[in-house]
Structure 1
Amino acid sequence: MAQLLDGAGELGWVLLKSVIRFVFMVFNNCAAIPSYCLYLVLLQPLRIWDSSAFWHIEGIMFKWLLAMVSSWGWIAGYTVTEWGDDVRPISEEEAMVIVNHQSTGDVCTLMMCLQDKGMVVQKMMWLMDHVFKYTNFGLVSLIHGDFFIRQGKAHRDKQLIYLKDHLEKYYHSRNRKWIVLFPEGGFLRKRRETSQLFAKKHDLPHLTHVTLPRLGATQVILKTLSAQQENGSVSSESGTPNQRGDNKRKGLQWVVDVTIAYPKARPMDIQTWIFGYRPPTVTHVHYRVWTAASAEDQCRQSVLSEARVILFLLVCVFISLPVCLSPLFSLRMYPIKEVPVEAKALTSWLYQRFVEKEELLTHFYDKGSFPSQDGQKEAASRPMILDPVWLCAIQSFAFASAYIWYSVLQYLYCCLF
């Protein structure tokens, strides 16, 4: 009987905690997302006068919104441990990020683990399923310039044309650096059986922890954002002369291979992230980087930039007030020159990356860690830590902004009606 009562008490606490978390997230969204939109409305003159400054500020606010989502999981004990090299030195270089897809929680995991990587998040473009357009974050993603892709044979060809047009229109004009996509085209549990049947039919490797990737979006991105060389690979300059102008862009420099691994192969979905009913979980992250740069300088620059934006937004609001009154993954990196763009060669290259993902995940699920890199006896790991003071500051700014905007709009309503 005592054991039954203890179980009921524990269940009651989990339910109460889930309700409290859900209520907070509703208020958090109602405060942060409208404030984000209203700030951008206020800054429309800046968009006309200096569009690069406008999208820089928008990117920082976008990063803050993603940090709020990250904080929901962080408070519940859902954290990230990183392995391998540091990705921050290339945060200012252009890269295509390919990620395995197990559940809706993959996006939340990426939102968290990239928060401390300089300016990556604010200059990132996401490719995601069109259903995300109808979520609470859909409006923010539309404004930011993310691309929502429809799955299925009936839409495939048209979607690739739309993607090419979208990249040409928004990627360079908004100074995007990283573009994130899930080449598998769906969740592991939904595509695994079909992928294995396809592999068996075409004498391809049998994969359990990932599925064979689809080529379309990857090839469009490489062809659109990088120039093709005579050998069929891509070079490091992209864009038309008009796009490049005087400030010539280097184009895509890297393909970043990200493999998300959950303990005991239990993916975390968005419901878990919101309600927090699963015990604290660590997702492991492995990096492999071939470059040399100062990560500390880039992180310092990012922090100073965000502080300046906070001051700028507050000044904008208070200036406007008189007018109104009288917010475990494994990562490997490949130089873009090593990546073929011709369909057959790119298919082989992409398949090989996912075979490597399969090997990484198999090792992780068997040993509890990722394999060591060449020249290392044992792989080293480090926790990815979010700054609680910074998270509290962002949340406070969001709720303060919501209060200010509510007061302004209420006064305008009273004046008009």
Structure 2
Amino acid sequence: MGEVLRKIIKPNSTWLLSLSRVLGKNDVPYLPVSFFHLHKSMLQTYNTDILALPNYIWTLIVCYYICLLQPLKLLSEKFFWAIIDTLYVIYMSSVGSWGDLAGHTILLSGDDISVIAGDESLLLLNHQTPVDIAVLMRCLNVISTAAPNTMWVSDWLIQFLPYGWIGKCHKDFFLLQPVDAKRLKMFFKNAEISNELVRLQKSVVDNFSNRNRKWVIVFPEGGFLSKRRSGSQRFARKNDLPILEHVALPRSGAVQCILDALGVEGKYPGKNGSCDNSAGFTALGPTLNKNSSNSRPIKWIVDVTIGYNRTMSCSEFIIGHRGPQTIHVHYRIKPASEIISSTPCNNGNYDVTKWLYELFYEKEELLSDFYKHGKFRSENGTSPRVAPLYYRHIIIVNIYLILGWAFIYKMCSLCFSMF
């Protein structure tokens, strides 16, 4: 069966290559062709299908209800978005809880980010696997004010996966990268990164000004470490930069665009519609321009570093067929004004790229130490803590699976009754 599917869907097709770049080498599993060579037994294949198929079905159901709720937007837009945010949190709670059902444990270390849940913040993550998204959602869901008030900036191709469909309804942003624009140039003849950054800026301003978002989440590496490491190291050798093994050199375009859109509290009011990442940005003194349309400046930068004892695929996170694993998440909270104060340039601008490089050099040291000792070192004397588990998440994921399979059974029964 697997061989037949592999012949029907050619592995070297352009769209499959693009999708495999996003999902990772071992995680094309959500394409049917890969279910059969990912696992060693049909039992594991069956378990993955059981969890994945209701995921797609339930996503369709949620999107269907969102369509039905559109008239409500005309009556009360605030109430409409409150319902959408609730559906979003329920869906992401179920995704994050899959790891708990598989027996995995998440250990948190470093700063307590719940204390800044009400402040505008920019979260910067390293990116090794698609599981990173589910792990962070699992961590954020225990902070009741954080989960619905986040805005994710993800790869453009993610929007075609179930998570992406819900994220699209939630107004998360999906960035089209130049490599995908070239690969799919028949669809994106005029795609340019500058246009994407303009779209990002408009989306950020709309989410923070009109939707009361608090946290924007970015993966500065621009892709998985396995896909970016070789290119990052070539660039580092060419430009006499440190060679990184556990992270890739970050791309500053999206981060700087967000800071241009919202500003930095007390230091930088933003550019009010300009998103030029070629020369850094200029601080305009200690007082933010209160007449600026950017009234929700970034106050904190949260450095999030995720470590795995071994690389984890989506299927392992869902069914745990290689045994339970402890996933480590390390937080460091930094004042956003640090970007201004630590990277001055001779021309009066401030270099976001330089600051991001320094941040990822620190991440490299953190991860090197993690792989040596099996845990992140404590910087403030606190011990690692287990991410709290709300049993309502487990209840939700089981209800979600039952409803998904009930819908599948109903549709199958209806189809068979027609013959």
TM range (shorter): 0.7 to 0.9
Establish whether residue 363 from structure 1 lines up as the match of residue 369 from structure 2.
Answer: yes
Distance in 1 of aligned mates of 2:206 and 2:384: 40
Distance in 2 of aligned mates of 1:83 and 1:188: 22
Aligned residue in 2 for 1:100: 126
Aligned residue in 1 for 2:399: 396
Counterparts in 2 of 1:5-404, with a 5 A limit? 15-30=42-57, 32-152=58-178, 155-226=192-263, 228=268, 232=283, 249-263=295-309, 266-285=310-329, 330-340=330-340, 345-374=351-380, 376=381, 379-393=382-396, 395-396=398-399
Amino acid at match of 1:206: I
* TM-score under structure 2 length normalisation: 0.73
Distance in 2 of aligned mates of 1:49 and 1:95: 31
Q: Greater CA deviation, 348-357 or 33-42?
A: 33-42
Amino acid at match of 1:365: Y
Q: Percent identity?
A: 34
What SS does the aligned partner of 2:333 have?
A: strand
Distance in 2 of aligned mates of 1:197 and 1:176: 38
Aligned residue in 2 for 1:313: none
Instruction: Please tell me whether the aligned partners of residues 63 and 122 of structure 1 are also in contact (alpha carbons under 8 angstroms).
Output: yes
| 1:185–1:388 Cα change, 3 Å | same
Unaligned stretches of 5+ residues in structure 1? 1-10, 286-329, 411-417
Distance in 2 of aligned mates of 1:13 and 1:132: 27
Amino acid at match of 1:260: I
| 1:150–1:231 Cα change, 3 Å | closer
Instruction: Please tell me whether the aligned partners of residues 238 and 251 of structure 1 are also in contact (alpha carbons under 8 angstroms).
Output: no
Q: Which has the higher helix share?
A: 1
| 1:272–1:53 Cα change, 3 Å | same
Q: Greater CA deviation, 109-118 or 386-395?
A: 386-395
Q: How many residues get paired? A: 344
Q: Which structure carries more relative contact order (alpha carbon 8 Å, separation 6+)?
A: 1
CA deviation after TM superposition for structure 1 residue 236, in Å: 8.9
Distance in 1 of aligned mates of 2:161 and 2:404: 22
| 1:239–1:27 Cα change, 3 Å | farther
Unaligned stretches of 5+ residues in structure 2? 1-37, 183-191, 270-280, 414-419
* TM-score under structure 1 length normalisation: 0.73
Distance in 1 of aligned mates of 2:299 and 2:41: 46
| 1:162–1:235 Cα change, 3 Å | farther
CA deviation after TM superposition for structure 1 residue 168, in Å: 2.9
| 1:284–1:200 Cα change, 3 Å | same
Amino acid at match of 2:331: L
Distance in 1 of aligned mates of 2:55 and 2:193: 36
| 1:240–1:193 Cα change, 3 Å | farther
What SS does the aligned partner of 1:47 have?
A: helix
